[in-house]
């Protein structure tokens, strides 16, 4: 089985939308990795739902995240080895034609024909990440109306192990 | 604006599982970054059958792929994926979106190309003398083509876990022809014949071996000896440098003489020959021009020396014993070597260990582990470490 990985890094003419400027320093212009101790667990449909508010202090550059009544403090961590972020190649019409052409070439004897060919794109090269490594601190009374409405929807799962 | 709202992706069902993190070694990172500006950027391919460990191949290197599970989770966060062009500065709050939540990172470890599968895939596909006309046969008779499925270069690319450059080198080292896209290892005896014909033609047509015109050589081989151009052209490439622009071929003298010598030596697998007789036969085969290049050192790692003490004076005997046919596993290789002869000098055994050790240091480590050094007036001998059958 062969899986192609193509490089699709954003160039100067990129049409992808950029992140807010204060977040760019934690990743690339389009993408940032946020590491959490534990995981976000949600029940039901989560499409477009609010998780929390991310704030970057303009002076100290410290990120903080409010999730419901929990405050998380984060920091910037440089990665020892850069990470390439891969995204599954979506089946846009153009991609579909490519796949068909590949199948035609493979016609006849080939160990590959039975397998489904898929491809991935390298969409970003990340050298930094935002890490929230501490336990969330409960905050009482400071949550604005908007945030507390969404509070029951998401919570920080406890750290595994 | 220093605050933004973190939301789940509006299309989380399609985004979940659509992202992966790949840890890149420094050289690959450079490759990816530099290829962003190129018109034809680099491409990686992950290769492997379901029962093999996957590897990632660049154009010329192979890496083993490993998945490392993290106890933390990593969120892949981007701006809104659905409304890509509407820049709205009046937006009260900026929103960013969690596209996927990941718990593993893919690690890459440099690896040797896994070419050994090639040997079994190519078995029974030899191209030999007398196969010149097979094209016509297979075209007229469909059953013949059905009997032997073609194994093409593209098939090898899919089945062999190696980069294209490493695969090309593996095919070249194994002397595999590509005829009509099909991979056909050349029969060694046929290869020797072709090389001998090239040598005689160089002489009879008085062509310079450092810049022989390819067209003349190819047509001489085709017209007089029925060697197909496609075959002889590839043979020329293996044994020298082809200058496409000037249309000339620069012969790699040592490589040609070595292969001719190997071809002759192969006959003496079970019945050793006297070294004098063998060298004379070899010199004759390569012709006057090259006979002073003939030397047994070219064949090191392919023959065993023994002394015929019955003749007077004692003569040296040579027998064909190729290291390429010995087991790859060190333990099995030493067992086989000590079966062939009970004790070895270091300079005798070294050529048979060259292809399983990267340098002399590693070779000595192998000797220390698998052999016992015995010193007597003649010097140091290596013998088997233990007698396993009592």
Check whether residue B101 and residue B74 sit in a common domain. yes
Q: Which of B121, B156, B186 is the last residue of a domain?
A: B186
Instruction: State how far residue B140 is from chain A, nearest Cα, in angstroms.
Output: 19
Q: Which residue has the higher pLDDT, B148 or B4?
A: B4
- The conformation of residue B302, written as its DSSP 8-state character, comes to S
ipTM: 0.74
Of the partner residues A11, A36, A37, the one whose CB lies closest to the CB of residue B75 = A36
Question: Is A140 within a domain?
Answer: yes
Dihedral sign, CA of B158, B160, B166, B167? Answer: negative
Please write the tens of the pLDDT for every residue from A94-110: 433 444 444 444 444 34
Q: How many domains does chain B have?
A: 3
Question: Is B283 within a domain?
Answer: no
A-contacting residues in B 143-182 (Cβ below 8 Å)? 149-151, 154-155, 157-159
Dihedral sign, CA of A14, A18, A24, A28? Answer: negative
Domain of residue B150, residue span? 113-186
Q: Can you give the pLDDT at residue A14? A: 60
Question: Angle B237-B241-B247 (CA atoms, 0-180°, nearest 5)?
Answer: 90
**What's the rounded Cα separation, in Å, for the pair B371 and B365?**
10
Mean pLDDT of B214-236: 88
CATH number, domain with residue B45: 2.60.40
Task: Report chain B's mean pLDDT, rounded to a whole number.
Answer: 83
Question: Is A139 within a domain?
Answer: yes
Q: Which of helix, strand or coil describes residue A6?
A: strand
Q: Can you give the pLDDT at residue B23? A: 93
B13 to A111: CB separation less than 8 angstroms, yes or no: no
B-contacting residues in A 23-42 (Cβ below 8 Å)? 23, 27, 30-40, 42
**What's the rounded Cα separation, in Å, for the pair A37 and A47?**
22
Check whether residue B150 and residue B51 sit in a common domain. no
A1 and B CB contact within 8 Å: yes
Please write the tens of the pLDDT for every residue from B57-100: 998 889 989 999 999 999 999 887 665 444 555 555 688 899 99
Query: B316 pairs with which residues across the strands?
Result: B307
Q: Which of B224, B228, B226 is nearest to B184 (CA)?
A: B228
Residues in B touching A57 (Cβ below 8 Å):
2
Please write the tens of the pLDDT for every residue from B96-124: 899 999 999 999 988 878 888 888 888 88
Q: How many domains does chain A have?
A: 1
Q: Which residue has the higher pLDDT, B343 or B137?
A: B343
Q: pLDDT tens track of chain A, all 161 residues?
A: 788 888 888 766 566 677 887 788 888 888 899 999 888 888 888 888 888 899 888 888 889 999 888 899 999 999 988 999 999 886 543 433 444 444 444 444 344 433 445 789 888 889 999 999 888 888 876 544 444 444 444 455 554 44
A148 and B CB contact within 8 Å: no
- The conformation of residue A95, written as its DSSP 8-state character, comes to H
**What's the rounded Cα separation, in Å, for the pair B37 and B60?**
20
Check whether residue B89 and residue B138 sit in a common domain. no
Q: Which of B48, B78, B111 is the last residue of a domain?
A: B111
Sheet bearing B212-213, strands edge to edge: B212-213, B248-251, B240-243
Contacts of A43 (CB under 8 A, 6+ apart): none
Question: Is A126 within a domain?
Answer: yes
Going from the C-alpha of B214 to that of each of B198, B236, B387, the distances in angstroms are 11, 9, 57
């Amino acid at each position: 089985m062969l899986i192609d990985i193509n490089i699709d890094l954003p160039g100067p003419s990129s049409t992808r939308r950029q992140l807010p400027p204060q977040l760019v320093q934690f990743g690339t212009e389009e993408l940032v990795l946020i590491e959490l101790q534990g995981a976000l667990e949600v029940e039901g449909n989560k499409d477009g739902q609010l998780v929390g508010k991310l704030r970057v202090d303009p002076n100290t550059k410290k990120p903080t995240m409010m999730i419901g009544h929990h405050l998380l403090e984060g920091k910037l961590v440089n990665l020892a080895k850069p990470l390439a972020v891969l995204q599954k190649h979506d089946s846009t019409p153009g991609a579909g034609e490519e796949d068909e052409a590949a199948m035609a070439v493979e016609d006849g004897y080939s160990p590959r024909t039975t397998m489904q060919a898929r491809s991935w794109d390298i969409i970003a090269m990340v050298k930094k990440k935002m890490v929230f490594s501490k336990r969330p601190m409960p905050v009482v009374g400071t949550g604005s109306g908007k945030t507390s409405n969404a509070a029951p929807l998401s919570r920080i799962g406890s750290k595994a192990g | 604006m220093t605050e933004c709202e973190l939301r789940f992706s509006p299309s989380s069902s399609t985004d979940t599982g659509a992202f992966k993190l790949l840890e890149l070694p420094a050289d690959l990172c450079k490759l990816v970054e530099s290829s962003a500006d190129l018109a034809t950027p680099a491409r990686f391919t992950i290769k492997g059958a379901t029962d093999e460990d996957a590897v990632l191949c660049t154009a010329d290197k192979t890496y083993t792929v490993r998945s490392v599970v993290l106890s933390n989770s990593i969120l892949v966060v981007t701006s809104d994926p659905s409304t890509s062009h509407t820049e709205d500065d009046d937006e009260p709050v900026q929103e960013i979106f969690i596209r996927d939540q990941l718990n593993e990172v893919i690690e890459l470890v440099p690896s040797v190309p896994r070419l050994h599968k090639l040997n079994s895939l190519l078995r029974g596909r030899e191209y030999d003398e007398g196969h010149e006309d097979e094209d016509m046969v297979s075209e007229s008779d469909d059953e013949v083509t059905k009997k032997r499925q073609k194994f093409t270069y593209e098939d090898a690319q899919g089945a062999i876990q190696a980069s294209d450059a490493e695969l090309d080198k593996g095919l070249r080292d194994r002397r595999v022809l590509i005829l009509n896209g099909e991979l056909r290892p050349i029969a060694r005896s046929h290869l020797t014949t072709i090389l001998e014909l090239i040598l005689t033609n160089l002489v009879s047509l008085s062509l310079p071996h450092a810049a022989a015109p390819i067209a003349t050589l190819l047509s001489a081989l085709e017209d007089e000896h029925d060697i197909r151009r496609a075959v002889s052209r590839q043979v020329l490439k293996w044994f020298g440098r082809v200058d496409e622009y000037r249309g000339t071929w620069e012969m790699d003298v040592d490589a040609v003489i070595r292969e001719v010598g190997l071809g002759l030596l192969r006959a003496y697998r079970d019945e050793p020959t006297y070294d004098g007789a063998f060298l004379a036969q070899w010199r004759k085969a390569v012709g006057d021009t090259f006979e002073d290049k003939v030397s047994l050192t070219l064949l090191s790692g392919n023959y065993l020396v023994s002394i015929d003490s019955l003749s007077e004076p004692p003569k040296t005997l040579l027998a064909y014993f190729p290291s390429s046919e010995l087991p790859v596993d060190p333990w099995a290789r030493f067992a086989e070597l000590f079966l062939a002869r009970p004790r070895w000098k270091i300079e005798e055994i070294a050529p048979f260990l060259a292809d399983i050790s990267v340098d002399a240091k590693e070779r000595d480590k192998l000797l220390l582990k698998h052999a016992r050094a015995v010193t007597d007036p003649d010097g140091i001998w290596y013998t088997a470490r233990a007698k396993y059958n009592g």
